[in-house]
Amino acid sequence: MKPDPEGGDLPMEAKAGDHIVVEATVVDQSRREGEVLEVIGSGDRTCYRVRWRDGHESVFHPGPGAHVTSPG
């Protein structure tokens, strides 16, 4: 989620090729990083097919701690 200028949170928006980072929410858990391969759905039902750094792929529904970073 990204901050809303009015104080709330806006949904995360990414496109194919963007990188996603999911920050750890539990002690001793590491952050997850991956590349968006495909955007599935739209609006409140948007999810992403992501290739994670360890090579696995999954469909990811963004939640707290997830944000988009620049490729590279």
pLDDT in tens, 29-46: 888 999 999 999 888 789
pLDDT tier, 58 (very low <50, low <70, confident <90, very high otherwise) = very high
Q: What angle do CA 44, 12, 49 make, to 5 degrees?
A: 80
- What phi, psi does 38 have (nearest 5°)? -155, 140
Handedness of CA 8, 11, 15, 17 (dihedral sign): positive
pLDDT tier, 11 (very low <50, low <70, confident <90, very high otherwise) = low
pLDDT tier, 72 (very low <50, low <70, confident <90, very high otherwise) = low
The predicted model scores a pTM of 0.76
Residue bearing the bigger pLDDT, 41 or 57: 57
